[in-house]
Structure 1
Amino acid sequence: MLLQKLNSPATVQLIRYAIIGALITALGQAIYYFGVEWAGLDPNVSIGVAFLIGVAIGYFAHGWISFAGHGARDDHAGMSLRFIAVNLFGFALNSFFVWLLVKALGGPTWWPIVPNVLVTPFATFLMHRHWTFG
């Protein structure tokens, strides 16, 4: 029973999404952190740059790898718009964490990395699986 659940399409997609997403998230959070600490960017500007780079990479990586064989691929315009909408939600959530933890609470610039890595990816996985690529 457990082995069947581990081999389910949703579990395989989650594993692929986690691997691809971890790489994109790590890159994005590194861009955010170095943008703030080394380039002197405003934290919200830096997370915006990270977002744009992550969306461009993520559209192809998740479409081709994470959700390969899942859902129809005949409406690329609609799928692209849904992908952008889900990622805008993720961007808004990450921006909220930056605002709350750095600007409102005065915490160090690394604090938002924690919820950006632990909360946002799970929310966007569910939205991508059921709406974008579903």
Structure 2
Amino acid sequence: MWIVFALLSAVFAALTSILAKIGIDGVNSNLATAVRTVVVVVMSWLMVFVTNNQSGLSEISRKSWIFLILSGIATGASWLCYYKALQMGSATEVAAVDKLSIVFTLILAFFFLHDTFTMKSLIGCALIATGTIIMVW
């Protein structure tokens, strides 16, 4: 079932790039990111209440709070940079470079989460990096 959600995530991410590129025309990239963030916050809390998960808020551990907050900061930085890049470059090139996050995730997961490299993951990362270079330069 995870693959369905992962594919939907990829489709929505692609839509995000296209819709944002159109919507950001003539708008400050930081302001555009703030507007988008408000929409995401409203949608997220709506899902929490629709699925009746709001009671779980008090069950979040201190460690989870810290890492969720740090993740939120990283997400905010990513979105601010993404929107600025999208305002300055083509959606295709920006999206391609953004996908290098897969390569960075593999490296960071190796060092911080002790994930292991497989031949398949190394080849995949090399192909992603090569594909990005081909698409952008």
TM range (shorter): 0.3 to 0.5
| TM-score normalised per structure 2 | 0.43
Of Structure 1 and Structure 2, the greater helix share is in: 2
| TM-score normalised per structure 1 | 0.43
Structure number, greater radius of gyration = 2
